[in-house]
Amino acid sequence: MPNGKYVSNVKNDKQLTDLAYLVRKFQRQSQWLWRMKADGTHLPDADPVKDGGTISKNPPDGIMDQQTALVLRAWVEQGLHMVLNKFELKELHWPPDSTATIPSEGGPARLRQDAYDAWLAAARLIHQKGGFLGKTFASSPRGYKAGKLSKSKGNSAYSWHYAALGIDLDEGASSYDGTINPKRGVRFVVEEEGNMFRLWCYAEPQPPVPVDPADDKKDPHLQYRNRNIATKSSPPGRKIKNTETSEPTPLFHQCGSKAGFAKVAAPAAWYVDVSSLMEMKGMMRIARHKDWQVNPKAWEWWHYEYRPKAPPMMVPPGTLPLQLTFGDYLQLYGVHEYKLRTIADGWPDHSDIERRPG
Ligand SMILES: [Zn+2]
């Protein structure tokens, strides 16, 4: 129950004393059918008809009117508390079913249970086909204790990484000039595709080369690429043996600034389509940023995120379901917004807490 002194519509509210804000938050979160007791026990989803614990007001206005007061009383009588820790965080391993953890900031990488399930399903397929995600720097969850990261360095202060729903693959597994070096873990080919990149991984072990070129792409997720394509020729990708069948649509690696942003044909070999296997299981790519040729952080080929379903909700008729906020997502794995507001260079304003992640 809010017990702060009444201040209204302040912006910077480190001590959470803005009662109008707290009422607004209660009105909003009461529409979720998730319920938790004050002792931290999670209850089955509420029955929206019998529950009496939702406030049918969209948008929430922060006014303690009669309906809000009655619903608050129902919550107090049932010993309910705002829902914290709805999802546990699960550690990431490579190989996916091993006990070797993938590193992140300050410990093993972890994802929210539902994102973990998606990641694990994709990781198993990628591993089965000879792909590799292991030398991953996951940034999941991104530590909130350091406060907001510098926007000028390309980090969003509201990234899905904070919500334990996004991971970054290892940038070091890709070279600036298209070199593949499996012994050093350099196995990624980054292919330009629209406003994104598609990520391929050199397979290990390499299956035998197909006898019939028609079989090169029989498995869309594990393809033999660049048959009879020269890698280091100028321009790269020139077909070299006109008498033999050559790859009709060669796989090119998008090089970085040190290589003049050239596109270099990948060595003829088997490659796992990491992007399609990730997306098939719900780990989605994002677009690169427009400044990718001047800002190395803007490529985003390494970034995959899980976009969770909305919680079950009692949505007032004629209104749209309320989207979850940055603060909600951290609350759902146990970070109280008080911590976000009071951390140095953190998220003290209502607008920090109430905006969408991303
Ligand atoms: Zn990322």
Q: Where are the domains of the chain?
A: 19-83+309-353, 90-306
Give residue 166 CA to ligand 1 midpoint distance, Å: 6
Give residue 307 CA to ligand 1 midpoint distance, Å: 14
What does each C-alpha distance from 257 to 27, 234, 295 come to in angstroms?
A: 51, 18, 10
Give residue 168 CA to ligand 1 midpoint distance, Å: 5
Give residue 264 CA to ligand 1 midpoint distance, Å: 25
Residues 6+ apart with CB under 8 A from 132: 126, 173, 185, 187, 201, 204
Count of C-beta atoms within a 10 Å radius of residue 93: 17
Tokens of 229: 């394509």
Give residue 331 CA to ligand 1 midpoint distance, Å: 20
Give residue 326 CA to ligand 1 midpoint distance, Å: 16
Give residue 302 CA to ligand 1 midpoint distance, Å: 7
Query: What's the confidence (pLDDT) of residue 323?
Result: 93
What residue ranges of the chain have pLDDT lower than 70? 1-10, 136, 150-154
**Cα 185 from Cα 358, distance rounded (Å):** 30
**Cα 268 from Cα 207, distance rounded (Å):** 12
Query: What's the confidence (pLDDT) of residue 152?
Result: 58
**Cα 162 from Cα 154, distance rounded (Å):** 15
Tokens of 141: 């969850």
Residue spans of alpha helices (H) in 30-97:
66-77
Give residue 271 CA to ligand 1 midpoint distance, Å: 23
**Cα 259 from Cα 305, distance rounded (Å):** 29
**Cα 14 from Cα 34, distance rounded (Å):** 27
Give residue 315 CA to ligand 1 midpoint distance, Å: 32
Query: What's the confidence (pLDDT) of residue 237?
Result: 76
Give residue 284 CA to ligand 1 midpoint distance, Å: 11
Phi, psi of 313 (to 5 degrees): -135, 155
Tokens of 313: 């909700």
Give residue 156 CA to ligand 1 midpoint distance, Å: 9
Query: What's the confidence (pLDDT) of residue 271?
Result: 98
Query: What's the confidence (pLDDT) of residue 186?
Result: 95
